[in-house]
Amino acid sequence: MGDEGLFRSATMSLIQLYIPSESVHATVTELAELGDVEFKDLNPDVAPFQRTFVSDIRRLDEMGRCVSYLNEQLAREEIPARPLESAIPFLAASAEEFARSPMFMEQLARELQECQERVAQMNKSYESLQQRLQSLEESKHVIRETAVFFQHAEHGESQDVTRLSMDSDAHAPLLDDSHLRGSGVRGMQGLPPAFALEFVAGTIDRRCMGTLERVLWRTLRGNLFMNFAEISREFVDPTTEEPMFINVFLVFAHGATVLAKIRKICEAMGGTLFPVESDAAQRDAHLNTVLERIEDHENILYSTNAARRTELLRVAESISAWENLVRKEKLVYDTMNMLQYDKSQKTMTAEGWCPTSDIPAIQLALRRATEDTGAHVSSVLQTMPTREEPPTFQRTNKFTEGFQAIIDAYGHAKYKEVNPGLFTVITFPFLFAVMFGDVGHGVILFLFALVMVYFERKLLRTKLDEITQMFFYGRYIILLMGLFAIFTGFLYNDIFSLSMHLWHTGWEWPRGEGTLTAAPNGHVYPIGLDPTWHGADNNLVFTNSLKMKLSIILGVAHMTFALMLNIPNDLHFKHANWIWAELLPQVLFMESLFGYLVITIIYKWAVNWYATDALGNALHNSPPGLLNMLIYMFLKPGVVDQSEVLYWGQAGIQTALLLVALLCVPWMLVCKPYLLYKEHKARAGAGYHTVGSARGEERVEGVHEDEQNVLDEVPDEQEEEAFEVGEVAINQIIHTIEFCLGCISNTASYLRLWALSLAHAQLSQVLWDMTIKNVFGLTGVVGAVATVLAFGMWFVLTIAILCVMEGLSAFLHALRLHWVEAGSKFYAASGYAFQPLSFKQDASLWPAIHMLRCARTNRALFRARTDVTTPVVATGTRVQHPLRMVMVGCPGSGKGTLSARLEHVFGIHIITAGDLLRWHIKEETELGKEADRVIKAGSLMPDTTMMALVQQKLEQMGEQDFILDGFPRTDGQAKLLTDALAIADRPLSLVVNLQVPEDAILERILDRWTHSPSGRVYNFSFNPPLRKGFDDVTGEPLERRADDNPETFRKRIAGFHQKTAPMIEHFRSLPCPSDPTRPLLVDLAGETSNYIWPKLEALVLERFPHMAQGMKTGLRSWT
């Protein structure tokens, strides 16, 4: 497999870029769009606040703060932001502005600042009005409650009044007229001035009411009257903005000093005081004034809130795009701060790693950036020799990325090390299935993953929660785990703890009662476990032995395979001597012990231990125990008990294997350190101390021939580590001990395959026996109801316990076997990941790529429009090659959307055949009368009549650009059109065939909703309304067209293909009039109009350059 395959990581190169200052931003942006360069920080000693673009970073931070503030306001008002996918029109409009002005981000920063200030000012006004309205509401309640208090007091009615030391009669009216007449103080007539009472009224938090009473009582020593009333309405605390309930209080006392003290205490405890007159008439007048002010404030508050929401709705249209652009620019400027600035040359120097095979694409991106900015000097790319270890880049796709993530979670492969992710695709789900083997449970896992794979495209566009996202990311892992679980379930003959009788059993049960012994009938069950074992008393004994031995076989095979992967590693890194010095003794040690154990297991299975001769005598002893055999192989070498003999010559073979294993230990200990020491002495004798010396004759250890040129003639940047014999020897001793002990412990660790498989099968049987099996004996209605309930309980417990909990347990154990048991045999995992600058790594930045592509085209257009040397087509003159275009596509492919964009952007006229027909019928022209007769007769419109309608309009168009919509629809109409235009010397100049996948069209149709009165169309996938299910303008509910269903659309699409296939072939056979080497028909493929539009726009500009002069600046018009 090649270097760019899955077997090893991609070949990497260290590149150096010299970028002119005027194009550095465009260059970094292009490279981020490409996603193939990992930049190195060339200013590690420069503080962040001292770097070149710190001012731009601060500006972007401020913009990010504005965006965060606006997002908070939207969340606070529960206004949904328009999804980023549907904000692509805004991005294209921004691209036009970006093409016109390099100060676009500064303009956006000002707009964000102004928008934030407007919203903040409206918030401040709204909150101020709310506080004043709340104060007026509290004043209203104080006046009303005071009036009620005075009314009850004057008539001697019972009140919840605190009667204090000034009370003389508990049953006398509180404000008896005889006592108040003539006082002259706040309407209290009758009392001499020395005994006049005044009061303090206000509101306070209900929770503080008791405290206020106690403080006033103790402070004034009981010299006061006090009353309060609870207000049922909920208010808002102006400081904490939390809901609260208030009480109205009224305190009577005598003397200005006492009243001042009361006011201070009330205000200190958070109370609000209000002036209230004791005179009823004045109170009524004051109350009316307060009510009028409340009404005025409510009207102003409503208007202010409406204006604020309108502003926030406008913000919601673009906030996602703003946030997207700010994040993109922040990423670009952070990268630009890693570059070195050469003031003398006015260039920026960048260094970074990239895949060698992607260097041509990087050079193309550099050229695009130079052309986009109009720089006079091109960027320069050169590869650099280096002794640094490159990063590891494993190319993956949507199928392999999950398996690669499993390996990378343990550690990234060393550069050019064999990648375990390739083999994990099979070994991981298989080992999982050994522990999870059950056909039924495997089907559940498989179907769960299959649903996610089927709806993959839709789920990718949906924001998923963390748990769902985790499952979706591993959908292909779960899919294979389910498939392998079905396979192992067939081998175990286990489906929801039951067996399957697919073939003839190999055992027969004799008739009788009690414990019976089945007898072989000569048949052999072809695949998997014989169903007769299910339910047998010794079933557990048999399956235990089988699964335990299978676990050992699989474990030894897995570890042996892992050991063998050292061979390609050693050969690639030029360590061929390590194969015989280290790998060979490791293999011999493992196979002489555990490989021998596997062979004896298979041999024991192959022998019929109960066979007899013709006289009925046993040919063999009872089958020996392999565990005892392995133990006594070490304890009593060369001795085998006669009753435990497995085969002839067993003692001698076991002794020889034991000697081989013992000899391998010093072999591993000595040979590799000796080779390293010998290699070091050879280098020292040749005067070679560092890699890349002046002699240039030695090759760098561990580097392939085709990568050596990267490392030749490198300056002495790093000194080779000093060679210490003692350190090497100690390291080898530790490694040898670890390997020898690991062979034993790792082999035992694979017994988890047996243990978990046993636990899974037993738990499945317990769930079945305790639920469904218990109700099978019930009959009638009770039996039916019990069966339904028991099935529900069984199914829920099966999903929750066996599929989720047991599945997670088996997943983690399979993870351990790959990370530790197999990985420790060959996988160094000492590398570091390739982390390129890329917008693609963050899905939320993908629309920025679209903006950049639009910007690239629009910058070129802007230069063309502002270049004084560009020829301008005069009005009324004939354009050499005007745009005469037909757009073909399935129903729902976006013809109308793209035609409207062409009309708005380029000013192209759209000729709709249906509109022409309706106009002629309405105006009762000759053609209209003929068409009306045909329609009333219920016949199809003849091609000649439709052609006459269209031809008349085309003659009126003259030399203007146009797009035909809805015509032609058949091969006959297409031939009539091309012949008529050829005769008039106005041939078609372009036919666009929109190729949109059928499943994408059907998915889009399912999400399409309309507002019938206005005709506005929404799509929940890429053009959703602000409020789901309701029109943005009127707020009325949206409706779905009756024919917007998969069945109807499949028929329409099939009919379209059948009808238009000859027409498309006709157009495909015609050449382009302006360039006969080009075809007239061009296929444009994409899933949505937003992704087809850049291709269509570029095609129009390429074939019809005059469109640039007539291009509108109103890209915003199709937002």
- Asked whether the CA dihedral 465, 470, 472, 473 is positive or negative, the reply is positive
- Return d(Cα 322, Cα 157) in angstroms, integer: 66
966: which 2 tokens? 């809805």
Question: 390: which DSSP letter?
Answer: P
Tell me the DSSP string of 438-471: -HHHHHHHHHHHHHHHHTHHHHHTS---HHHHHH
Tell me the DSSP string of 788-804: HHHHHHHHHHIIIIIII
SS (H, E, C) 1086-1111: CCCHHHHHHHHHHHHHHHCCCHHHHC
According to the model, what pLDDT value does residue 532 have? 82
Nearest to 301 by CA among 451, 524, 126, 66: 126
Q: Which residue has the higher pLDDT, 1112 or 986?
A: 986
Q: What is the mean predicted confidence (pLDDT) over 706-735?
A: 64
Tell me the DSSP string of 86-125: GGHHHHHHHHHHHHH-TTHHHHHHHHHHHHHHHHHHHHHH
According to the model, what pLDDT value does residue 938 have? 61
- Return d(Cα 245, Cα 249) in angstroms, integer: 13
The SS3 call for residue 983 is helix
Asked which of 197-201, 379-383, 512-516 is least confident by mean pLDDT, the reply is 512-516
User: What are the contacts of 73-78 at 24+ separation with CB within 8 A?
Assistant: 73/119, 73/123, 73/312, 73/315, 74/312, 74/315, 74/316, 74/319, 77/308, 77/309, 77/312
State what percent of residues in the chain have pLDDT above 90: 28
Q: What is the mean predicted confidence (pLDDT) over 612-637?
A: 81
Return the CATH number at 6. Answer: 3.30.70.2750
Cβ 482 vs Cβ 514: under 8 Å: no
Decide if 363 is inside a domain: yes
- Return d(Cα 963, Cα 886) in angstroms, integer: 6
Per residue in 23-49, pLDDT (tens digit) is 898 899 899 988 899 999 998 888 888
> Is pLDDT at 432 greater than 80 in this prediction?
yes
Q: Which residue has the higher pLDDT, 166 or 624?
A: 624
Per residue in 592-619, pLDDT (tens digit) is 999 999 999 999 998 887 777 777 676 7
> Is pLDDT at 591 greater than 50 in this prediction?
yes
CB neighbour list of residue 426: distance below 8 Å, 6 or more residues apart: none
> Is pLDDT at 11 greater than 60 in this prediction?
yes
SS (H, E, C) 543-588: HHHHHHHHHHHHHHHHHHHHHHCHHHHHHHCCCCHHHHHHHHHHHH
SS (H, E, C) 144-205: HHHHHHHHHHHCCCCCCEECCCCCCCCCCCCCCHHHHEEEEECCEEECCHHHCCEEEEEEEE
Q: Which residue has the tokens 């108040």?
A: 180
1062: which 2 tokens? 């000859």
Q: What is the mean predicted confidence (pLDDT) over 148-175?
A: 49
Q: E strand or H helix at 353, and its extent?
A: strand 347-355
Decide if 37 is inside a domain: yes
According to the model, what pLDDT value does residue 622 have? 78
- Return d(Cα 883, Cα 990) in angstroms, integer: 7
Residue type, 1081: L
According to the model, what pLDDT value does residue 491 have? 92
Radius of gyration of the chain (CA): 43
The SS3 call for residue 842 is coil
- Provide the whole-model pTM: 0.67
CB neighbour list of residue 591: distance below 8 Å, 6 or more residues apart: 560
CB neighbour list of residue 76: distance below 8 Å, 6 or more residues apart: none
According to the model, what pLDDT value does residue 1014 have? 65
Total domain count for the chain? 2
Instruction: Say if strands 181-185 and 188-190 run parallel, antiparallel, or are unpaired.
Output: antiparallel
Residue type, 491: L
Asked which of 557-566, 754-763, 985-994, 1035-1044 is least confident by mean pLDDT, the reply is 1035-1044
- Return d(Cα 652, Cα 639) in angstroms, integer: 9
According to the model, what pLDDT value does residue 1096 have? 84
Q: What is the mean predicted confidence (pLDDT) over 747-761?
A: 93
Q: E strand or H helix at 376, and its extent?
A: none
Decide if 516 is inside a domain: no
Nearest to 963 by CA among 904, 899, 907: 899
> Is pLDDT at 880 greater than 60 in this prediction?
no
> Is pLDDT at 705 greater than 90 in this prediction?
no
**Bond from prior residue into 1046 cis (ω within 30 degrees of 0):** no
Residue type, 447: L
What are the backbone angles phi and psi of residue 883, rounded to the nearest 5°? Answer: -85, 115
Decide if 20 is inside a domain: yes
- Return d(Cα 958, Cα 292) in angstroms, integer: 68
Q: Which residue has the higher pLDDT, 486 or 696?
A: 486
Domain that holds residue 10: 1-45+337-380+388-393
The burial class, CB within 10 Å (0-12 / 13-18 / 19+), for 341 is: middle
Nearest to 29 by CA among 317, 365, 292: 365
State what percent of residues in the chain have pLDDT above 70: 82
The burial class, CB within 10 Å (0-12 / 13-18 / 19+), for 704 is: middle
Instruction: Report CA-CA distances (Å) from 74 to 78, 241, 310, 1119.
Output: 6, 18, 11, 21
Q: Which residue has the tokens 């019976």?
A: 516
> Is pLDDT at 206 greater than 90 in this prediction?
no
Q: Which residue has the higher pLDDT, 645 or 418?
A: 418
What are the backbone angles phi and psi of residue 162, rounded to the nearest 5°? Answer: -80, 110
Decide if 731 is inside a domain: no
Question: 498: which DSSP letter?
Answer: B
> Is pLDDT at 588 greater than 60 in this prediction?
yes
> Is pLDDT at 96 greater than 90 in this prediction?
no
> Is pLDDT at 807 greater than 60 in this prediction?
yes
Q: E strand or H helix at 900, and its extent?
A: helix 895-906
Q: E strand or H helix at 232, and its extent?
A: none
- Return d(Cα 828, Cα 746) in angstroms, integer: 17
Per residue in 301-341, pLDDT (tens digit) is 888 888 888 888 888 888 888 888 888 889 999 999 999 88
38: which 2 tokens? 């990992």
* Mean of the per-residue pLDDT values of the chain: 80
Per residue in 287-304, pLDDT (tens digit) is 888 888 888 888 888 888
- Return d(Cα 32, Cα 840) in angstroms, integer: 8
- Return d(Cα 19, Cα 70) in angstroms, integer: 37
> Is pLDDT at 867 greater than 50 in this prediction?
no
Asked which of 92-101, 448-457, 649-658, 1009-1018 is least confident by mean pLDDT, the reply is 92-101
Cβ 1067 vs Cβ 1078: under 8 Å: no
Per residue in 643-656, pLDDT (tens digit) is 788 888 888 999 99
Instruction: Report CA-CA distances (Å) from 957 to 76, 574, 910, 927, 964.
Output: 54, 75, 11, 18, 12
- Asked whether the CA dihedral 1104, 1109, 1110, 1112 is positive or negative, the reply is positive
Beta bridge partners of 392: 833
Per residue in 666-679, pLDDT (tens digit) is 999 999 898 888 88
The SS3 call for residue 17 is strand
Instruction: Report CA-CA distances (Å) from 408 to 8, 435, 825, 830.
Output: 14, 24, 17, 11
Q: E strand or H helix at 365, and its extent?
A: helix 359-373
According to the model, what pLDDT value does residue 86 have? 57
> Is pLDDT at 391 greater than 60 in this prediction?
yes
Q: What is the mean predicted confidence (pLDDT) over 65-82?
A: 88
What are the backbone angles phi and psi of residue 990, rounded to the nearest 5°? Answer: -160, 135
According to the model, what pLDDT value does residue 817 have? 94
> Is pLDDT at 860 greater than 70 in this prediction?
no
According to the model, what pLDDT value does residue 85 have? 61
Cβ 428 vs Cβ 403: under 8 Å: yes
According to the model, what pLDDT value does residue 1022 have? 58
Q: What is the mean predicted confidence (pLDDT) over 851-865?
A: 43
- Asked whether the CA dihedral 493, 497, 500, 501 is positive or negative, the reply is positive
Decide if 27 is inside a domain: yes
Return the CATH number at 1048. Answer: 3.40.50.300
- Return d(Cα 98, Cα 92) in angstroms, integer: 9
CB neighbour list of residue 486: distance below 8 Å, 6 or more residues apart: 439, 442, 443, 446
According to the model, what pLDDT value does residue 1042 have? 65
> How does residue 834 score in pLDDT terms, banded at 50, 70 and 90?
very high
> Is pLDDT at 127 greater than 70 in this prediction?
yes
Asked which of 241-250, 525-534, 695-704 is least confident by mean pLDDT, the reply is 695-704
Beta bridge partners of 202: 249, 273
Q: Which residue has the higher pLDDT, 583 or 962?
A: 583
248: which 2 tokens? 């109205």
Decide if 372 is inside a domain: yes
1046: which 2 tokens? 């998969």
Decide if 30 is inside a domain: yes
Asked which of 171-180, 222-231, 402-411 is least confident by mean pLDDT, the reply is 171-180
According to the model, what pLDDT value does residue 864 have? 39
Angle of helix 650-685 versus helix 725-749 axis, rounded to 10: 150
